[in-house]
Structure 1
Amino acid sequence: MRVLYFPDEDGVDVSGGAAELVVLALALAAGKGGTETTTSAEPSFGGTELASVEVVSTSGPGVRIRVDSERSALLIEGDRRGLTALADEVQSIAEMDDGGHQHIEYFPDHYYLVAGSLAMVVNSPHGGMPSR
């Protein structure tokens, strides 16, 4: 799994194979865990590669996506309800049969993300754009 952080855009971009996305979905559903990321020779388009993704249960309410720059880690912290909702979204992306991506971004009254959460783009295991 590769995670790029774009501080000027307040967002992260997540790419990985289906199995890697499933591991992330399982950690989210469990409310704990994470994974080390991989580096790539592919262009980063100005993003900074992060070293890990960590999931932490909190009392909430909601989910906050943030980066710990000192540890080069993507942190996803939240209550079980919110983490489960995000897990379902990541699982559905892992199961995509074509290219594509999903934007996971806060807006007022978002059902699980809290204000101040970074935007996250999760890419299909088949690439970020459909082949059809």
Structure 2
Amino acid sequence: HYLEHRNIISHEIVFTPPDYVAHLTAKSRFGRMGLSFLNAAKVHSGFVGRLALEVVNLNNERQPITIKKGEPFMHIEFLSRVGNPSPYTGDYMFQYLTDEEVAMYKRILRDRFPGLFEEGFIERMAVRRIKNMEEG
């Protein structure tokens, strides 16, 4: 509904390598309908997790916007950063991931980016992660 705010969790897991940053935009079809992101449409370098997308309906005719489950409604663009890699160290690392998914990405981070994260950081974030919408 018009001006209604919704949190949508992405189906896809996003891993932004530490030397990249990602930007999100609504697919033009939904943008023309009035769908807009409330939060910054940016994914930090080194982030791993599902995205919590805060969207609002700004439709000029005040009509509902329907997004069907599994329907693509956004674009993600990865851009290389200038300078040293800068890993994400915020509270949302590994958000909405299962234990199995976390284990897989912990291995990837340790094997491909050794020494990038502070000792013990990856383990702490895996334990502290947001697991569902009620926690977020």
**TM bracket, shorter-chain basis:** under 0.3
Normalization by structure 2: what TM-score? 0.26
Q: TM-score, normalised by structure 1?
A: 0.27
